[in-house]
Chains A and B, each alone.
Chain A
């Protein structure tokens, strides 16, 4: 995983970056399986490693593969990210240990309620499914709304251009496409 990330930050070729991103997502999915989150692993492998990569590759098809190389390290972003990392590491000093049964997150009564009662109430053995579809159904509805909005946005952004480009051929003016067509 670390090799992938370092490769992405060093490589100049965007195609290699997209493929490494796919590998990174797949490794993240493997981590999720190790951590007993099988549903999340499915989703990450299908959506993160699959659909994201296809989207990035489609974009690269339009925009070209090469990006400018900056040999010198940019200091301001480096300092910023290292500062954020340092603060987070400082934050982990008080965090509960990994994988202990008596961590506060496992003592919370909502979780216990879900674990004990969900099969009796809905009849489905997979608790993640029960919470996603039944107990937090509104959450999932909101997620679907977000996906719908994103789909509309993409269609407007990409479909609206064709109409504009016809006008552009007449005027030969190159830079007035800022506004999103409604």
Chain B
């Protein structure tokens, strides 16, 4: 810019205003940002204590427990990753659970059809591709509904929830589809240095998604759209195109979850993601995202998904009736949202009514 910096000949204004945001980042805010990890730490310590006191065992220092929790967290975490992107944009995707089931069934069928002629490896690759690709179709429809036809995400994806569910059951013939491919079964159940392959695949995928959300234009625009869609549009962001890609991405995450499910159980099932429908939303919210959009991180969501997995596995481990799982997860969600609200108030930022 070639303009003079020394301007303001007539000084109608006083000193520059104090930057009162300086002290805003209080301890409360730090705690709130890390709350999912703190929850997780508290849970682990709690279960460890419980295990030692009640039967003299250890909870967390047991490799089998760690592996089980990690495997347990894979599917909800993959769904929650897609959901994190959608929730940050201010939407919600209710169809993910059954898109996962659809992908599981299609992956199973594809592997069974391809393996006899083309071998184990090609069969597995075809299964992965078909599972993720088929998931993108309901994702595209969700995207079109939300971006072009202005259907509220809650309703549009609720419709797709039903469509994906019915289609998955029809394709599965109302039952589960067993897979016969040893390589696929090995991916689903094998491990290297004690770490299950599906956990490694999920971890790598998380890394990529974390990068996309925090370091790319796509991620940046996602936050902007969630905070102020009008501002995003005025800034020249292609909001429609973004929302379309967003719902395809979230469906693709569910597709990957479906394929890994088939690998783990050696069978595709339409109801694979049914219990995870709302678990994935819960993981995102516990992880610090706001359902109003504009905030959330992949790291938070990972902690959120682990919190749910630890509660569910831990309560079984210490031999408590399984119904307590629902109560505990519910309580954690509520506390998490309360902390979020308190944080906004303490931070002195603008609170939307």
Task: Answer yes or no: are A and B bound together in one complex.
Answer: no
Query: Which A residues contact B (CB, under 8 angstroms)?
Result: none
